[in-house]
Structure 1
Amino acid sequence: MKLSQFIFSFLMGYFCYSLIEIVMRGYTHWTMSLTGGLVLAVLYAVNRCRTMTLIRSCAVGTLLITAIEFAVGVFDNMIMHWNVWDYSDMPLNLLGQICIPFSCFWFLLCIPARLLCRHMDRRLGRTVKYKKGCSDSLRTAFMINSSCWDPRQRNYYCFLYNNRWVPVT
């Protein structure tokens, strides 16, 4: 991942998460803005993997967000005593820093985050364009081998890389 991609994804997470917190709680803390930026930058790196399914992406994202939230919570709330948040009254909480209901919320929030990361990857990252449904004439013209064929869906899955159609493996 290029530095510019990291910086852009960090800034997107910084501002998007700040906006979510302001809409939901009415205010935010600067450490939460930084945490939102770090989280989206990490999710961007995770979602660059082409084999990452939606469910797997959400599960990995939930674990990462919860771990980062716990680390920031221990620092902000327990060490610095800034009292940014307190989940002590929530069910199934750990030291009042993380809880299962918010982890479920992070799982759901990972769905639009994944879409945002994929969109950013198309805009900032690779010059790869996916094409579903390559016809036989395209297959012949671009010499795409038969591994591009998915017999279950009766479609070709190919992508354009360096002006050549190649199968998705």
Structure 2
Amino acid sequence: MYYKGCALWWMFLLGCFFYSLLEILARGYTHWTMMLTGGTVSVILYQFHLKAPPHTLLLQCLCGALIITAIEFSVGVLDNLYLGWNVWDYSNMPCNLYGQICLPFTGLWFLLCIPAFAICRVVRKRFHVPLYSS
């Protein structure tokens, strides 16, 4: 018997905590939408990890970075451009798109996917969730 629902909740809570913590460490504050974004990203990365073939960490990290960047863009368009909350602005960063995403942060997401997928493995084993589960 495995506990996939518990694993998903743990991933959501871990994502909320670590994403917010990273923002606080980097710029001194965070926004409540970033907590929800971090939780959502973690659950999606976990689901991706369950489906990914073993021994593909670099490919998983590349896909993870693209997933995070896509979610960040979506949240940025909603929070910053549509609602005008100005949660972040990457306009001064190189290779940015509407100030919502930029290439340097996509690279950072790639690197952060390495420990993120390690956490996914720990959670998967802790809750006895098989690989390739639906």
**TM value normalised by structure 1:** 0.72
Q: Deviations along 1:61-101, whole A, 9 cap, x unmatched?
A: 01100000000000000011000000111111000000000
Structure 1 residue ranges without an equivalent (≥5): 129-169
**2:65–2:113 CA contact under 8 A, matched in 1:** yes
For residue 100 of structure 2, the aligned residue among 85, 97, 100 is: 97
Q: Considering only aligned residues, what root-mean-square deviation do their CA atoms show, in Å?
A: 1.6
Please list every run of at least 4 consecutive aligned residues from structure 1 whose deviation after the TM superposition is greater than 6 angstroms. Answer: none
Richer in strand (by share) = 1
- 2:90·2:102 contact (CA, 8 Å) conserved in 1? yes
1:60 lines up with 2:70 in the alignment: no
Q: Which residue of structure 1 aligns with residue 91 of structure 2?
A: 88
Q: Summarize deviations over 1:32-78 as a string: whole Å, max 9, x none.
A: 01000000111111111351410111011011000000000000000
- SS of corresponding position for 1:115: helix
**Larger Rg over CA atoms:** 1
| Distance in structure 2 (CA, Å) of the matches to 1:42 and 1:18 | 17
Which one has the bigger helix percentage? Answer: 2
Of the two structures, which has the highest relative contact order with CA contacts closer than 8 Å and spacing of 6 or more? 2
